[in-house]
Amino acid sequence: MDAADFYTGIVAESFAPLKSFSFDPGPYAEFVREAGGPALELGCGDGDPLLALRRQGLDVEGVDSSADMLERCRRRAEAAGIDVTVHHQRMEALSLPRRYRAVFLAGPTFNLLPDDGTAVAALRSIRGHLLDGGCALVPLHVPAPSPADQIGRVRTATADDGAELRFSLVSEERDETLRTRTSLLRYERHGDGGSTVEERPWLLHWYTRSGFEELAAAAGLSTVSVTDADGNAAGDAATAMTFRLRAGHR
């Protein structure tokens, strides 16, 4: 299932209540200040860390493929009195009126792109929306197999209207050749108005360091640095990598 279709309806409603962590806006604010504005967050979702960066006065816009998640972002921004510009587009097919000095993803959202071809298209979109000399920050990870005891385990949360939300991992498949992990996820909502149960496949596609560097180069982006989770230079066997890319002169 495409990410644009996955993060809709019950999944979008459950995203914030079931979220177990929030991104620290600090590293992204530092990146934007260093690279310069304007900046664009790809896959901004419901507004973390986009709204925190706007609260700091940074010139950052957001884009996401899910209209439902963007609507939640707009409502959060309005409630907080934050002025924000967001766009409903896919990152592999961007067509925005502005060019940016900084483009970034907060967390490994890029792993949601299903294959290398889509990844190259997204990297070309990034290059096309960067000013010459502009920088992109792309975190990636190699998802580990889920522990067996996580299959079927139910997490719960409460929706805004008091309904009970439930989430569980039903099954998982992994393809080392295609570099994909597909998880079947179950979302449930139980309240006075009745119950809703949906199962949706969630695909993650991963990369090696050298493989992603080649894709970036094919899109016109040079690799400035690749760091691991501890901030050290990442080797090809790293399972968490953050690529800093630069757009050359046309």
Q: Distances from the Cα of 99 to the Cαs of 39, 40, 96, 130, 239, in angstroms?
A: 9, 9, 8, 5, 31
Average of pLDDT values for 170-199? 96
CATH of 3-142+207-247, picked from 3.40.50.300, 3.40.50.150, 3.30.1300.10, 3.40.630.30, is 3.40.50.150
Confidence of residue 250 (pLDDT cuts 50, 70, 90): low
pLDDT digits (tens, 9 = 90+) for 223-244: 999 999 888 999 888 899 999 9
DSSP string, 122-191: HHHHHHHHEEEEEEEEEEEE-PPPPPGGGBT-EEEEE-TTS-EEEEEEEEEEEETTTTEEEEEEEEEEEE
| Choice among 1-5, 7-11, 42-46, 84-88 with the minimum mean pLDDT | 1-5
Cα 147 from Cα 225, distance rounded (Å): 32
Confidence of residue 55 (pLDDT cuts 50, 70, 90): very high
Domain extents for the chain? 3-142+207-247, 148-205
pLDDT at 122 over 90: yes
Average of pLDDT values for 155-171? 94
Average of pLDDT values for 47-64? 97
Token pair belonging to 95: 């067509």
- How close are the terminal C-alpha atoms of the chain, in Å? 36
Question: Residue 224 phi/psi, 5° resolution?
Answer: -85, -45
pLDDT at 248 over 90: no
Confidence of residue 33 (pLDDT cuts 50, 70, 90): very high
- Name the pTM for this structure: 0.95
pLDDT at 4 over 90: no
Token pair belonging to 196: 């809703």
Average of pLDDT values for 241-250? 90
Confidence of residue 246 (pLDDT cuts 50, 70, 90): very high
Cα 15 from Cα 54, distance rounded (Å): 21
Listed in sequence order, the residues at least 6 apart from 199 whose beta carbon sits closer than 8 Å to its beta carbon are 170, 184, 185, 186, 187
3-state helix, strand, coil in the chain (%, to 5): 30, 35, 35
Question: Fold for domain 148-205?
Answer: N-terminal domain of TfIIb (2.20.25)
Token pair belonging to 66: 């899910």
